[in-house]
Chains A and B, each alone.
Chain A
Amino acid sequence: DTEVTQTPKHLVMGMTNKKSLKCEQHMGHRAMYWYKQKAKKPPELMFVYSYEKLSINESVPSRFSPECPNSSLLNLHLHALQPEDSALYLCASSPGEEYEQYFGPGTRLTVT
């Protein structure tokens, strides 16, 4: 299984809603990532989990809250988002440092 899965594929939420994005991989990878990507821009790193511990937080606003329940799962909890947070949210995993990252298909998020 060389796949990273993400749910949902699309999400529309209001600024007062609470929602969660989910990501799963069964490749035994030890690092998992959340990225945000705007149209015609490269992915922008948000968080990195290494061995289920938060390794990197790129000064992301607290309305985004990551969670790594186990080595295969990664969640991103969303609360009180702004319209400018609308973007493609990508999850990725890698065996460890200095390895290629495998990306999931992404969640297209629209905040109204």
Chain B
Amino acid sequence: GQNIDQPTEMTATEGAIVQINCTYQTSGFNGLFWYQQHAGEAPTFLSYNVLDGLEEKGRFSSFLSRSKGYSYLLLKELQMKDSASYLCAGTTLDSNYQLIWGAGTKLIIKP
């Protein structure tokens, strides 16, 4: 079967660091995307990991462990505008067009 799990909601403080985890059980796994979606808006691309390891892009970093079926998104120096839903989505070797989406993690930033 194909399944991606992530926490439903997380709360963090402005200026702090937060890690959003994503675990997957997908046959023929190929890579994992992270998207940010503000309420009522479209998802925007954050990162794509195919190889094991950490990829850093400014305040956001994404990590993948293929052997553990695990990824995380790390957000540093949190800002109020980071309040959004964060969705992880996997691709498989069968079809890279079809993303297997997690349900999304709603991140709430408090002052």
Chain B nearest CB from A76 CB (Å) reads 15
CB <8 Å contact, B98 and A98: no
CB <8 Å contact, A42 and B103: yes
In chain A, positions 93-109 with a C-beta closer than 8 Å to chain B are 94, 97-98, 100-106, 108
Closest to B101 in A: A42
Chain B nearest CB from A9 CB (Å) reads 11
Please name all residues of chain B whose beta carbon is closer than 8 Å to the beta carbon of A56 when the two chains form the complex: 95, 97-98
Number of contact residues on B: which range applies? 20 to 34
Closest to A45 in B: B98
In the bound complex, how far is the Cα of B42 from the Cα of A90, in angstroms? 7
CB <8 Å contact, A103 and B43: yes
A31 is contacted by which of B91, B97, B104 (Cβ under 8 Å)?
A: B97
B43 is contacted by which of A41, A43, A97 (Cβ under 8 Å)?
A: A43
Given contacts A42-B87, A42-B104, A43-B101, whether A98 and B96 have CB atoms under 8 Å apart is yes
In chain B, positions 58-90 with a C-beta closer than 8 Å to chain A are 87, 89
Please name all residues of chain B whose beta carbon is closer than 8 Å to the beta carbon of A106 when the two chains form the complex: 41-42
* Closest 7 pairs (CB-CB, A-B): A42-B101, A97-B96, A103-B42, A98-B96, A100-B45, A48-B97, A103-B43
11 A-B pairs, CB-CB below 8 angstroms? A40-B104, A41-B104, A42-B87, A42-B104, A48-B97, A56-B98, A94-B97, A97-B97, A100-B48, A102-B45, A103-B42
| B residues with CB within 8 A of A | 30-31, 33, 40-45, 48, 87, 89, 91, 95-99, 101-104
| A residues with CB within 8 A of B | 31, 33, 40-43, 45, 48, 50, 55-56, 88, 90, 94, 97-98, 100-106, 108
